[in-house]
Structure 1
Amino acid sequence: MSDTRLREEICRYGRSLFERGLTPGSSGNISLRLDDGGWLVTPTNASLGFLDPARISRLDSAGRLLSGDKPTKEIPLHSALYETRSNARAIVHLHSTHAVALTMLPEIDPRAALPPMTPYYLMRAGQTALVPYYRPGDPAVADAIRGLAGKYSSVLLANHGPVVAGDTLEAAVFATEELEETAKLYLLLRNLNPRHLTPAQVDDLVKAFGLELPLHGEHDDTHDHS
């Protein structure tokens, strides 16, 4: 796909996310990793709803700005996820309401922020890690992402929002949307003892779709917060 088409894709998906209220104001950012190791990334203080393809930041493989506006301050976050997820070609970071709300709840397991509520959550987002709060743009968040050792394609930043990698921009956007909808379901059903997918049902999804889930098959007692 040409550079021009990739820029247009970033703007198209960004506008869709913005218009549906998934990231307000000038929050959120999108990046694409190019064949030469460089990136296209949304500029700092730019609304995803009003991106200009010509002003998308073009970085080289070392993260140096080659053209376009100054890039988002979340470059360390994107860089660490690309570094540890070798198949990732796109990353979406939003401030979506329900995913942010989820990060503030005391019972959330950092290794599996959401239970297996729906098949499409597992199929698109996998399991989701929660990392502690860091101020936006803090390089220390990169170390937190590296500490996950590439096991997670979807990560929640405490009190901040989701960051999701995909092998295409479409896949990253769809996974981010699925994560937001699952967080919404969790909040709607919290303390109502909902019926989640059983281990057997998760096993079936893993086998049918070749899913790689970090905690699959492990004994997990981290939900005991007594």
Structure 2
Amino acid sequence: MIWMEIARFGKKLVEQGLTGSRFGNISVLTEDGIIITCTGSMLDDIDERQVVLVERDGECADDSLASCETPVHRAIYRSTDARAVIHTHSPYAVALSLLEDVVMPIDSEGIAFLGEMPVVDGQFGSEKLASAVSDALMDHRACIARGHGVFAKGGDLRDAYITASMAEHSSKIRYLVRWGRVAPKD
């Protein structure tokens, strides 16, 4: 059952400090539409009542139950090859989004597997944000909404989770080296 996979990764996101319990959302693209967490769901306590099926290509009645970021998830699925999307409020990524316009990993794994993360603008849940995020994810695995958080795409939830995790890890390393007390070696 898809909701069980969403619950498993929601718990991992919170346990790993990638987002707070009440922040962020998770979705999976299916043949029937998009299964997405409901607005106000606690990601570390998801059950079948905290996910909802919405239309892929347009608004539907259950949008009122779904995450306010549903328009962003829809735009990602329409514009990219994503099959799963995870949105976190990861602290280091959010901090860097307030300081930089593109977050370029400096750690070896981030360079090799993640690549740069564009920082995009737009009010949460807005069409402007949906357009900016979906455009960024056409050529990148993750992007960061300025002051808001990471959007990570994947071929499945595991892939999207790994990307979200790498995004925060690379952001933390970059932040600590650039603004922390860690000095890089020449």
TM-score of the superposition, structure 1-length normalised?
A: 0.73
**5+ residue gaps, structure 2:** none
Moved more, 50-59 or 117-126: 117-126
Aligned twin of 2:144: 156
In structure 2, relative to structure 1, the CA distance for the partners of 1:114 and 1:94 (3 Å cut) is same
- Partner residue of 1:41 out of 33, 36, 50: 36
In structure 2, relative to structure 1, the CA distance for the partners of 1:89 and 1:13 (3 Å cut) is same
Instruction: Give the aligned residue type for 1:49.
Output: D
- Partner residue of 1:129 out of 118, 136, 143: 118
Q: Which has the larger radius of gyration?
A: 1
**Contact 1:89–1:168 (CA under 8 A) maintained in structure 2:** yes
Identity of aligned residues (%): 28
In structure 2, relative to structure 1, the CA distance for the partners of 1:124 and 1:11 (3 Å cut) is farther
Instruction: Give the aligned residue type for 1:52.
Output: D
Aligned twin of 1:92: 86
Of Structure 1 and Structure 2, the greater helix share is in 2
**Contact 1:58–1:66 (CA under 8 A) maintained in structure 2:** no
**Contact 1:29–1:92 (CA under 8 A) maintained in structure 2:** yes
In structure 2, relative to structure 1, the CA distance for the partners of 1:144 and 1:67 (3 Å cut) is closer
**Could you tell me how far apart the structure 2 residues matched to 1:147 and 1:175 are?**
17
Aligned twin of 1:23: 19
Query: Structure 2 matches for 1:40-189, cutoff 5 A?
Result: 40-65=35-60, 70-85=65-80, 87-105=81-99, 108=100, 110=101, 112-115=102-105, 117-132=106-121, 134-148=122-136, 150-189=138-177
Q: Match of 2:152, SS? A: strand
Of Structure 1 and Structure 2, the greater strand share is in 2
Q: Match of 1:162, SS? A: strand
Aligned twin of 1:10: 6
How far did residue 125 of structure 1 move? 2.5
In structure 2, relative to structure 1, the CA distance for the partners of 1:63 and 1:57 (3 Å cut) is farther
In structure 2, relative to structure 1, the CA distance for the partners of 1:10 and 1:123 (3 Å cut) is farther
TM-score of the superposition, structure 2-length normalised?
A: 0.87
In structure 2, relative to structure 1, the CA distance for the partners of 1:68 and 1:9 (3 Å cut) is farther
**5+ residue gaps, structure 1:** 197-226
**Contact 2:27–2:86 (CA under 8 A) maintained in structure 1:** yes
**Could you tell me how far apart the structure 1 residues matched to 2:63 and 2:45 are?**
15
How far did residue 195 of structure 1 move? 5.4
Instruction: Give the aligned residue type for 1:151.
Output: D
Q: Match of 1:27, SS? A: coil
Root-mean-square deviation (Å): 2.3
